[in-house]
Amino acid sequence: MALSNTIKVPTFTTIFHTSTTHPLPNTLFPLPSLRSCACKAIFNTTQLSSHLAQKSNNRLQPHSVDFQLSSLTALSPLDGRYWGKVKELTPFMSEYGLIFYRVLVEIKWLLKMSQIPEITEVPSFSEDAKSYLQSLIDDFSVNDALEIKEIEKVTNHDVKAVEYFLKQKCQSNAEVAKVLEFFHFACTSEDINNLAHALMLKEAMGSVMFPVMDKLIEALCKLAKDNAHVPMLSRTHGQPASPTTLGKEIAIFAVRLSRERKDLTQVEILGKFAGAVGNYNAHVVAYPDVNWPHIAEEFVKSLGLSFNPYVAQIETHDYMAKLFHSLIQFNNILLDFDRDVWGYISLGYFKQITKAGEIGSSTMPHKVNPIDFENSEGNLGVANGGLSHLSMKLPISRWQRDLTDSTVLRNMGVGIGHSLLAYKSTLQGIGKLQVNEARLSEDLNQCWEVLAEPIQTVMRRYGVPEPYEKLKELTRGRAVTKERIREFIERLDIPEAAKQNLLKLTPGTYVGTAVELARTVENAVNR
């Protein structure tokens, strides 16, 4: 998914402004003294309300100050508490990222026009001019983005601010200065924005999200193979069922996630570049001899995107809906895994490796809470809520254009950021898991009734009448022990070899092909 070497994502450093802290007082405000008598407490409610009002400003609330943005004052926890875990998305999914890709598209479009023979007003650039323009991309910095934001305060238009910034920057280059008015030539803002958003998604997924998804799938494959042989009691409808192995149950999630990972990579990231309403109206008037649809397709593809020829003012966002729906499904599968592992921890099938100094519960010292899986589950819910709105809203736009998508698109990083946070939480949780084979074995040994299934199946093979009913009478609502099962088998009128095979069965060996399925999970994932 990475772009060609012609597009370089700059190193990104974030600087937070700090502000003076105002700790809350150590003590709560004193209540007015209350009179009491034998029958009831009596107090003046007016006096109490007045006292509360006087004290509330400096006792119950932070001091009234002009807060500056920092990790403590950020409204979003992604930009505050969880910043360290999601900051690698910043070069792509932030306001900075959007501005950077706008700059990139504007410059690449000017370079493209210099290659169109019919546009004689923009002659081919020298290598020095090309290098200068490329340096504006390669060396783009936070200060450049801040400069564009200052211009936007005057223009009140974010894309126009980028155009003016580039014109200012290029005045010092004599060759480029001659064609400044060809920045943003025949473009509507959405020509620039839709390509910027597409590149943001493409690079965020390729550089950040896919590698973490792959780590998740790899971790699950390893967990599955390491525990391929460990028998485990299944539970269907919460009740004891035919045994499986721990590894095979983990393998299911590895394969499911790998399918969604593959589907995500197959979503075509689309771009348009067809002017105000998708018809190249202004282009054709200015240069009627240019094959503009062909030029637009070449340009969009040169950015590593697929071309969408049928659009209004905006790219229709259908690919975004598909991408976000696939991401939601990946998240749903991972949420299913989180809940299953949470349950296995609750049953004692897994212990959690602890670190010195960590607190599991603030009041119960013995507890080690499965917080990583709970954090993952919570963040997957937040992510899917945002991604669901994006996928449902973005394909809908009134007539040729409305602006409802503009503000919504600025929230792409929220759903993707919470997804990334969840993936890392699950990975952290997996790293703490320690299988408790003794507990798994204990559960199996208490459930000999699960052998009713193979026994009645063999009885069917050899024509024993009413096999299901006989096993139902033996097992349902009764304590079933190893001895009762063996006694039942001994009385069966079936071939001796079949009887001996049944007598060898235990809940721990009755696992079918689970071991092999778990051991070969990587074949299925790679396929």
Name the residues annotated as catalytic.
237, 361
Residues 259-297 as b or e (16 or more Cβ within 10 Å = b):
ebbebbeebebbbbbbbbebebeebeeebeebebeebbb
Rounded-to-integer distance, Cα 309 and Cα 297, Å? 8
Question: Alpha-carbon Rg of the chain, whole angstroms?
Answer: 32
Six-digit token string for 455: 């026994």
CA distance 75 to 383: 16
Tokens found for residue 525: 């994932």
Element (H, E) at 41: strand 41-42
Q: Which residues of 456-480 are buried (b: 16+ CB within 10 A; e: fewer)?
A: bebbeeeeeeebeebbeebbeeeeb
Q: Which 8-state DSSP code applies to residue 401? A: -
**What is the C-alpha to C-alpha distance for residues 524 and 250, in angstroms, rounded to an integer?**
13
End-to-end CA separation in angstroms for the chain? 19
Residue type, 266: Q
C-alpha distance from residue 114 to each of 173, 296, 473 (Å): 16, 14, 86
Tokens standing for residue 293: 């649809």
Q: Residue 435 is inside which H or E element, if any?
A: strand 433-435
Q: Which tokens sit at 367? A: 């507890």
SS3 241: strand
